[in-house]
Structure 1
Amino acid sequence: MYSNGYNVYKSNSVNYASKEQLLLMLVEGAVKFCKIARQAIIDKDIKKANDALIRTQDIFSELMISLDTTVGEWAVQLFRVYQFIKDKLIEANMNKSLEIIDEIIPLIEDINETWKEAYKIAKK
């Protein structure tokens, strides 16, 4: 009973979220799944690490697709950052490398914080 209610709530929060809120959800998900992958590698759970890294890669693919690079150089630079992170995620997944994950988690967290700040400023 409760899980069904939660699923409805979760589905509605995505269905009725603004474009900006969806972006924040994506980036927060990237942080979460990258950290799950890190722990799964430590735990030697290869399938869980693979699944979490692929989800993180998919999030960055979506962020890249949704980015309008015609609006300015900043968008092009952000696209390159997303591409760099996605490439590193692929490499980390192939090698199950904690070192690579430890390199990119701070980048993903910085992107998350930047988008949170941008959202706060835009709401004012």
Structure 2
Amino acid sequence: MAINKHPHQAYQQNAITTATPEQLTLMLYNGCLKFMKLARQGIEQQNIEVKNVNLQKAQNIIHEFMVTLNTEIEISQNLLQLYDYIYRRLIEVNIKNDLTILEEVEGYVVELRDTWKEAMLLSKQAQPVQGGQA
């Protein structure tokens, strides 16, 4: 019988594979913020590798948001412009080690994440109750 040596990794993998698309999006926003925080620590500690790796991870998440937008929905064009701006600013942070720029884009990602959480809550509240009276 195999014993799982990494229960936390197994839990995370299970959370991802069983998550709804909405939950996955929320996880990506949270992951992006986590990588920005780690990049901030890398800048503060003058650890170029930590800064670079984590900014690239944050950029990859923002890029994923950009390429998966449904461009037939009107708001998508506005989101695409915002994501593109965040993406370019993250590159600038990586080049300049500028914590002010990082703070700016963190604020945008926090707003996007919080708006997404609110939309998920409203969507859940608007769904009809299953298994009720006929």
**Band of TM-score, shorter chain:** over 0.9
1:101 maps to 102
One-letter amino acid matched to 1:16: T
SS of alignment partner, residue 19 of structure 2? coil
Structure 2 matches for 1:71-86, cutoff 5 A? 71-72=73-74, 74-86=75-87
1:11 maps to 13
Quick check: which one's helix share is greater? 1
Alignment partners' CA distance in 1, 2:46 and 2:52: 11
Normalising by the residue count of structure 1, what TM-score does the alignment of the two structures yield?
Answer: 0.94
Shift of 1:102: 1.6
Number of residues of Structure 1 aligned to a counterpart in Structure 2: 123
Alignment partners' CA distance in 1, 2:113 and 2:38: 16
Shift of 1:3: 5.3
2:26 maps to 24
One-letter amino acid matched to 2:117: K
Alignment partners' CA distance in 1, 2:97 and 2:5: 32
SS of alignment partner, residue 94 of structure 1? helix
Structure 2, unmatched stretches of 5+, are 126-134
Please state if 1:117 is matched with 2:106: no
Q: Write out the 4+ residue segments of structure 1 that deviate beyond 2 Å after TM superposition.
A: none
Alpha carbons of structure 1 residues 3 and 107: separation in structure 2 relative to 1, 3 Å: farther
Q: Deviation digits for residues 76-120 of structure 1, max 9, x if unmatched? A: 101110110000001111122112112211111111111111111
Identity of aligned residues (%): 34
Alpha carbons of structure 1 residues 52 and 3: separation in structure 2 relative to 1, 3 Å: farther
One-letter amino acid matched to 2:89: K
Normalising by the residue count of structure 2, what TM-score does the alignment of the two structures yield?
Answer: 0.87
SS of alignment partner, residue 6 of structure 2? helix
Structure 1, unmatched stretches of 5+, are none
Alpha carbons of structure 1 residues 121 and 3: separation in structure 2 relative to 1, 3 Å: farther
Greater relative CO, 1 or 2 (CA 8 Å, sep 6+): 1
